[in-house]
Structure 1
Amino acid sequence: MTKRKPEPTPIETFLAPLARHARKWPEIEGLVFWGGAEGWGNAPSEALEAEEIAFYAEGLLEDGFRMAWALVALADGPDMPDHIRLQFWQDDSPPPEPAPGWFALDKGLWNGD
């Protein structure tokens, strides 16, 4: 009898594209930004290696955080992603879009639903 692979959880489904990007570009960094009552900082709080990105995000989503991620490239280099932007928060303040000169090649949003 062959065991069937369990269905992915909603969090695993949400993180699947993010994990694929990290595997496709193993040298890419994940830059973590936090938002809250004080707003959003301009500098990342930490940088993650590609293989850490999905694992890090999964733990926070399981703890009830909201998340937006974006595969970000410079406007003058649209075929080459620069980093993966990971934004986490708990209130109702959505994260800002990438700064001018940057754009998202792909993105996802988790509101805990």
Structure 2
Amino acid sequence: MTSRKPDPTPIQTFLAPVATLALKQPEIEALVFWGDAQGWDEAPTEALESEEIAFYAEGLLEEGFHMVWTVVALQDTPALPDHIRLHFWQDGAPPPGLPGGWLPLARAEWAGR
């Protein structure tokens, strides 16, 4: 008798690239940004260590938040992921583009409830 591993949830599938990167590069961090109807915080509200990223994001997505994750690199080192940006919001517009000097390597958006 073989036990079959359960299929990943849609949230787990959405977060899989970030979780995989966190396993491959345990030194990578995620910066968390919040937005609302008044706009977006320019500075991150917190930094997450690699092992916290998927767990933190999964809980908020289950609560119905919108999210965009972006793996970014410095323009000077475009092949090397520098950090992950996690943008969360319930009301208002999606997050603004990246600040100057940064390049997106991968990006995905989750539409919350």
TM-score, normalised via structure 1 length: 0.95
Q: For 1:95, give the aligned amino acid.
A: P
Once residues 77 and 61 of structure 1 are traced to their aligned partners in structure 2, the CA distance between those partners, rounded to angstroms, is 31
Alignment RMSD: 1.1
Provide runs of 4+ in structure 1 moved above 4 Å.
none
CA contact 2:39–2:92 (8 Å) conserved in 1 = no
Once residues 37 and 62 of structure 1 are traced to their aligned partners in structure 2, the CA distance between those partners, rounded to angstroms, is 21
Q: Deviations over 1:19-73 (max 9, x none)?
A: 0111111111110000001201110000000110000000000000010001111
Once residues 25 and 104 of structure 1 are traced to their aligned partners in structure 2, the CA distance between those partners, rounded to angstroms, is 17
Show the counterpart of 1:94: 94
Equivalent positions of 1:41-56 (< 5 A) are 41-56=41-56
Gap regions ≥5 residues in structure 2: none
SS at match of 1:6: coil
Identity %: 65
Gap regions ≥5 residues in structure 1: none
Once residues 10 and 79 of structure 2 are traced to their aligned partners in structure 1, the CA distance between those partners, rounded to angstroms, is 30
